[in-house]
Structure 1
């Protein structure tokens, strides 16, 4: 462990109980100028864990950036023990272009732990991994859905890793998804390197959505409370649903979609999810739930072609479980508000009478 009283972070001597804004140099521009990530190091007065919180690993996913900035707006906010590295934008090159990707079209979130002699993306990943992940004990990585989609707030982690599961449950999003993450992803490689890391998904790209921001800020504080870095009890839902299987329900035909559910809705097998038809309301085709589940993501673009993803469902055990999850959602103010707010981003209608199509088989 580093000496606690004074520690060197990114070339700056920072005293215990203080905070400082610093820059992490990650690459160089075409003109040879340094490219840096701005961040804040917040140090508690007593020893404890070191946690990183990152936003905009995909440069267009800004809800996490908004959540981190919201906490940083209070200069008195911070842990009583341990260190927190608050990084509003990890992918600054994508952020500058309002893009998910780096200028060379590579996905930074598939390039970890990086390579010091590889592509620009893997070199950046190597710097970030060595400077941040290798110095931390835990991590929280904040994301949104990809372009033209939205996500109901959820936490993703490897359920087999008990430390990751502890962080995920402490975050308190209400919905947990099991998975290690894709190969080369930040959270997967960080966890493999001994820094248990969770991913939080919520909302859309290019936005800071108040209900998602509130969920993320509450979750960050909750995790720090469970790690005993901040005093107090975490504010988490009484029950949280754990999902091991999910499926994208895809369009069978091209057309214009009428949605019958919204993010966070619980559904039972056979329930209408969406109906698409021609622009003059002919040739109706209905998509139905292939199983009992909860809507964890969906398209925000009503025009579809065959095979395009429409509704992302998390599989629940039974209709009884679906009813219980709906009751749990309504009992938690934050989840209920997120569900209500996200539903206003799309038109949700009652299904009309039409011949239903066969649901896709479960993958």
Structure 2
């Protein structure tokens, strides 16, 4: 008999070693007194090992993570040797059903953890999720996209000071890793504080399942399972991963229509034009330039802007030499290169406008 042959119970369902089960976690009640549940897939290996959760759609309109988890579930050749994997395609099912980032009470579930059993609806939901999933897991992977009207180049966000979080982030294999604990009340911050090191993965847009982003996410989840000896095989990672401590949103100085000069994943030099804002008849040009050498982590997909609105999200690189090195290694990684090519189709990228000289 294998060391992990005993049966485990998850959300009322028993899962035998080497088996899997579809089950549900009741998180709330509807106005009609009916139970509200989130569907969950639990997979166990034959041997003892870590317990890992992977969640999608914590914001109900962010569906790339949902697509990635469903791809893992549907893969007939996918096998786990050890440990337990808890897969939650849609964590915020109430937001998902309304195609909304938020819960029906307009609260952001990702600011409500670890929750409160006697608090608001969102706080109660967060408490149920936290107690039922996080407290039983050793590690976590939370899959996200950019907010509405934006897109993100695939990246991992983690606390550089936490060794186990960094282990997950590096194993995931994204080309870009950003430093940060996450906002107070966020799922990954509170899970990590509770002893379950958790990372966030960002990629793509809301309301879509984008193949190149799904490929980044599924590769990353498999990499982490291999790193934790839950699956066989070598990790598939880029030659280099850039670690970024400083980011900055470049904001519109004037209102008008945007011409973008960069796309997600673009490497930029200090002073390089990022976007030009002008009137609808191409007058009164306002050029936004990069304040430092960096990489485009995210950007708006809405070509109209008012003063102060975010246009391009930059991650700061050390210098131009470092920028060239990052670009070279990204092009060598098929998954990163495909993602950059695909995400660039979300925006129209043109050469900077040259203002003609006035006639004498």
Superposition TM-score, scaled by structure 2 size: 0.97
* Correspondence for 2:354: 353
**Post-superposition CA distance 1:305-354 (Å, at most 9, x none):** 00000000000000111111110110111101100000011100000124
C-alpha contact (below 8 Å) 2:4/2:46 kept by paired residues: no
The 3 A distance-change label for structure 1 pair 329 and 53 is: same
* Correspondence for 1:306: 307
* Correspondence for 2:187: 186
* Correspondence for 1:222: 223
**Post-superposition CA distance 1:210-264 (Å, at most 9, x none):** 1000000000000000000000111001110000000000000000000000000
Equivalent-residue separation in structure 1 for 2:133 and 2:68 (angstroms): 19
Is residue 142 from structure 1 mapped to residue 146 from structure 2 by the alignment? no
**Post-superposition CA distance 1:97-119 (Å, at most 9, x none):** 00000000000000000000000
* Correspondence for 2:93: 92
C-alpha contact (below 8 Å) 1:285/1:354 kept by paired residues: no
C-alpha contact (below 8 Å) 2:109/2:122 kept by paired residues: yes
Equivalent-residue separation in structure 2 for 1:161 and 1:180 (angstroms): 9
* Correspondence for 1:279: 280
C-alpha contact (below 8 Å) 2:260/2:348 kept by paired residues: yes
**Post-superposition CA distance 1:123-147 (Å, at most 9, x none):** 0000000000000000000000000
Is residue 288 from structure 1 mapped to residue 289 from structure 2 by the alignment? yes
**Post-superposition CA distance 1:256-296 (Å, at most 9, x none):** 00000000000010000000100011001100001110000
* Correspondence for 2:118: 117
* Correspondence for 2:199: 198
Q: CA deviation at 1:77?
A: 2.3
Equivalent-residue separation in structure 2 for 1:210 and 1:106 (angstroms): 30
SS at structure 2 position matched to 1:344: helix
**Post-superposition CA distance 1:11-31 (Å, at most 9, x none):** 112111100000000000000
Q: How many residues align?
A: 354
Equivalent-residue separation in structure 2 for 1:193 and 1:83 (angstroms): 19
**Post-superposition CA distance 1:182-231 (Å, at most 9, x none):** 00000000000000000000000000001000000000000000000000
SS at structure 2 position matched to 1:206: coil
Q: CA deviation at 1:76?
A: 5.0
**Post-superposition CA distance 1:29-57 (Å, at most 9, x none):** 00000000001000111100000000000
C-alpha contact (below 8 Å) 1:256/1:304 kept by paired residues: yes
SS at structure 2 position matched to 1:105: coil
RMSD across aligned C-alpha pairs, in angstroms? 1.2
Is residue 36 from structure 1 mapped to residue 37 from structure 2 by the alignment? yes
C-alpha contact (below 8 Å) 1:54/1:86 kept by paired residues: yes
C-alpha contact (below 8 Å) 1:110/1:185 kept by paired residues: yes
* Correspondence for 1:238: 239
Equivalent-residue separation in structure 2 for 1:330 and 1:3 (angstroms): 42
* Correspondence for 1:297: 298
Superposition TM-score, scaled by structure 1 size: 0.96
Alignment of 1:55-74 (within 5 A): 55-74=56-75
C-alpha contact (below 8 Å) 2:258/2:275 kept by paired residues: yes
